[in-house]
Chains A and B, each alone.
Chain A
Amino acid sequence: MFIRTALLLTMLALAGCGKTASDQAAASGEQVIRIGSVAPLTGPQAHLGKDNENGTRMAIEDANAKGIVIGGKKVHFELISEDDQADPKTATIVAQKLADNKVSGVIGHLNSGTTIPAAKIYSDNGIPQISPSATAVSYTHQGFKTAFRVMANDAQQGHALGMYAVKNLGVKRIAVIDDRTAYGQGLADEFIKAAHAAGADIVSHEYTSDKSVDFTAVLTAVKGKQPELLFYGGMDAQGGPMARQIKALALNVKYMMGDGGRTPEFIKLAGDAANGVYASLPGVPLDKMPGGETFATRFVAKYQPIQLYAPYCYDAVNVMIAAMQKADSADPAKYLPALAGISYDGITAKIQFDVNGDLKAGNVTLYQVQQGKWQALETVQ
């Protein structure tokens, strides 16, 4: 039975390769433009990956509802969503698959470790790639013309966080924990640089992993150094329980995270230890931008509360489509220059790219949990 199923699957795979359901749309006279979305949809970060996919999907559905005309033809955008399992090798495989499927652009990937190797394949195939969430500086510094991001990089965000901690919160003794992932370590290092430059002491630098649940040992070590502020470079799934353990160990510090912590999930997991926690998010608060609040309500109604990067995915798709409209073509070679020189009002920020493909104005907003909700404190450059 099993062997028969496997055979059947293989046959169907061979039959189905390269052909997607979209060819029907093409028959009806519309021009089909394929946009790829890549994020981990299985494995420990699947909840963030699904959020990215949903953000991208919503932007594409919105664009289809508008009935956009490019090159004199009505176009139909089609989403091709792929799972890269947060694995660099799989990332290149799906990147090649998207290139085979002749996508006009790619929104992704989620992690820096997958975005960087995949960027090479997109560049080889001339496909513009906008990452909504990869923050490693080196992603846009590989010399690829096709690589963009709509997210502040580690240097921009770490700098804002470090300055805010020292200047606005007035702390002198700082402890740092990072989760030894490309994201956590990159952000923590930039935070340390900025805090150090602003005159604070880094009294302790401890480490954990992105799969741990018990942080009592490192927190106890931190406690011995009596810091005033603890910065954690990592994600909400660890940051939330860490907040609880900080409270349980009666560690009396201000607690701060980057964008990885500024999620509803964090508040859920941290429970009553969430109040007073600081975190940042690149860009401007949604309610300050035109269309931001409507996006949020519509997204929640359609899928689930925004996890993290869905608004950035939404912006990434829209900026890509705007470039296509400006160039009046969905041919990557034609609209790529338009994308590089675009100025677009997104829901997270005004999007303009610098020569590398990074955001020109790397705005970062700081938030604090007040009465169980993230409240915007201040937006810094």
Chain B
Amino acid sequence: MKKNLPLCSPISPRAREIICIILFVAVLPFLTDALLGRGWVRIVDFAMLYIMLALGLNIVVGYAGLLDLGYIAFYAVGAYCYALTSSPHLALAYPLLFPDGLHLSFLIVLPLAALLAGGFGILLGAPTLRLRGDYLAIVTLGFGEIVRIFMNNLNAPVNLTNGPQGISMIDPVRIAGVSLNTTQQVFGFSLPSVHLYFYLFAGFTAVVVFVSHRLEKSRIGRAWMAIREDEVAASAMGINTRNLKLLAFAMGAMFGGVSGTLFAGFQGFVSPESFSLMESIMVLCMVVLGGMGNIYGVILGGMTLALLPEVLRHSIVPLQQAMFGRTLIDPESLRMLLFGTALIGVMLFRPAGLWPSRVRRRELATDEAEQ
């Protein structure tokens, strides 16, 4: 593939950069598979779902400064949207109405799920416009729990979500007739399912990064940041704070919805357990730990927190064996213990996150100067 790329061609350095990234992404699953094993490709797949979620939450928390502890609800909306329309569940619950289930195409469900999640975003945003800071946090937390509880209970009197049993046998993502659940042969390369999903998720992550990037630099993005810094002043400058806050919730929610749809297709099974409060908290941790408001920081945060528990899972037993010759401390509790310690440690040494946005770093510097 390399020789298609003449080194002294008139392409700009920017384009070359992008091509390099694409090449890197293209070989990454094969590299991971060969060096670490296929399980790691799956872990990276999930990490990308979390990066998408974190970037979505970054719009709400990082740009607009609205603390959201119920973000996972939108992920759930997206996931259930795909699960309902692409599984035999409806056929089993309502054989008369849907004799074969809906089995809509992924490309139709995706925008629908995004829109529905966006609608839920506005639904959450509307009653919370007047709230600030920690009060907003508890209301969003409540919203997340409400959505989860409804999903957990809507199996009676109307069986919509199949309750705690969850919905299984969800169709895999199918694009142009190609199912991503089976190994495909492309140009002599054998692409297993996890690799296919890797490329799909990488594509969506790229779109999400691009949109985030454009939003950040746009008038809307600047208005969000103005609201974050001082809502009253922003309002006085003629910014329609109500609409912009709702827009932030809706945009963030849409990213969550898209990510949820992908999750449902990838996992083949959704149940309310996947959308607990702890997940919302984890996504928030990714945003804050990475560096709120900075796209690269948030990506780094998402990657770190999604990969760290798995890295620990793989390393604790060998590490203990290397150090003491046997497994001395219960590896599972030690894993979570180290994870918690890492959260504390990173925040202590880098209070603005691993890779803070430039504006934030400046603010922090002036803050300290004032002290």
Which A positions have Cβ atoms within 8 angstroms of B?
2-3, 6, 9-10, 12-19, 21, 41-42, 46, 82-83, 86-89, 92-93, 96-97, 99-101, 112-113, 116-117, 120, 124, 136, 138, 142-143, 180-182, 184-186, 207
Contact = CB atoms under 8 A, between A and B. Distances in A.
A182 B167 CA distance: 11
A13 B314 contact: yes
Given A88-B273, A93-B310, A116-B166, A9 B37 contact: no
Contacts of A182: 164-166, 271
B268 interface: yes
A142 B165 CA distance: 13
A9 B315 contact: yes
Given A93-B310, A180-B164, 10 more contacts: A2-B341, A9-B312, A16-B315, A17-B314, A19-B318, A42-B336, A88-B273, A88-B274, A100-B39, A124-B193
Contacts of A6: 342
A93 B43 contact: yes
B145 to A, nearest CB: 11
**For this complex, into which size category does the number of interface residues on chain B fall?**
35 or more
A18 B36 contact: yes
24 contacts: A17-B36, A17-B37, A18-B36, A18-B37, A19-B318, A41-B330, A42-B333, A82-B313, A87-B274, A88-B274, A89-B267, A93-B46, A96-B38, A96-B42, A99-B39, A113-B164, A116-B269, A117-B267, A138-B168, A180-B163, A181-B164, A184-B164, A185-B164, A186-B164
B152 interface: yes
B102 interface: no
B342 A2 contact: yes
Nearest to B268: A120
A112 B268 contact: no
B321 A21 contact: yes
Most buried by A among B155, B311, B332, B342: B332
A7 B165 CA distance: 41
Given A17-B37, A18-B36, A92-B267, A86 B273 contact: yes
B319 interface: yes
A12 B319 contact: yes
A366 to B, nearest CB: 25
A179 to B, nearest CB: 9
A264 B16 CA distance: 66
B26 interface: no
B273 A113 contact: yes
B254 interface: no
B36 A185 contact: no
B318 A185 contact: no
A151 B293 CA distance: 50
Interface string B316-337: 0111011000000010110110
Given A83-B313, A89-B274, A185-B163, A9 B319 contact: yes
Chain A to chain B: the 9 pairs with minimum beta-carbon distance, closest first: A16-B318, A13-B315, A100-B37, A97-B39, A117-B269, A41-B332, A2-B345, A96-B39, A100-B39
A207 B155 CA distance: 13
Contact of B39 (A21, A93, A116): A93
The residue among B155, B165, B314, B321 with the most chain A CB atoms within 10 A of its own CB is: B165
Contacts of A93: 39, 42-43, 46, 310
B259 to A, nearest CB: 12
A93 B317 CA distance: 18
A164 B263 CA distance: 42
B169 interface: yes
Interface in B322-370: 322, 330, 332-333, 335-336, 338, 341-342, 345-346, 349
Contacts of A181: 164
A142 B169 contact: yes
B271 A88 contact: yes
Given A16-B315, A88-B269, A113-B273, A2 B39 contact: no
A103 to B, nearest CB: 12
Interface in B30-56: 35-40, 42-43, 46
B344 to A, nearest CB: 9
B153 interface: yes
B299 interface: no
B37 A92 contact: no
B262 interface: no
B272 to A, nearest CB: 9
Contacts of A186: 164-165
Nearest to A117: B269
A101 B42 CA distance: 14
B194 interface: yes
A100 B289 CA distance: 31
Contacts of B313: 82-83
A17 B349 CA distance: 29
Contacts of A184: 164
B168 A142 contact: yes
Interface string B285-321: 0000000000000000000000000111111011101
Given A96-B194, A116-B269, A12 B333 contact: no
B40 to A, nearest CB: 8
Contacts of A82: 313
Given A89-B46, A124-B193, A142-B168, A16 B267 contact: no
Contacts of B273: 86-88, 113
Contacts of B322: 12
Nearest to B92: A138
B199 to A, nearest CB: 17
Contacts of A136: 165
B209 to A, nearest CB: 22
Nearest to B155: A185
Given A9-B319, A17-B36, A185-B163, A83 B332 contact: yes
Nearest to A11: B315
B257 to A, nearest CB: 17
A112 B163 CA distance: 13
Contacts of A116: 166, 168, 269, 271
B143 to A, nearest CB: 18
Contacts of B152: 180
Nearest to B194: A96
A133 to B, nearest CB: 16
A149 to B, nearest CB: 15
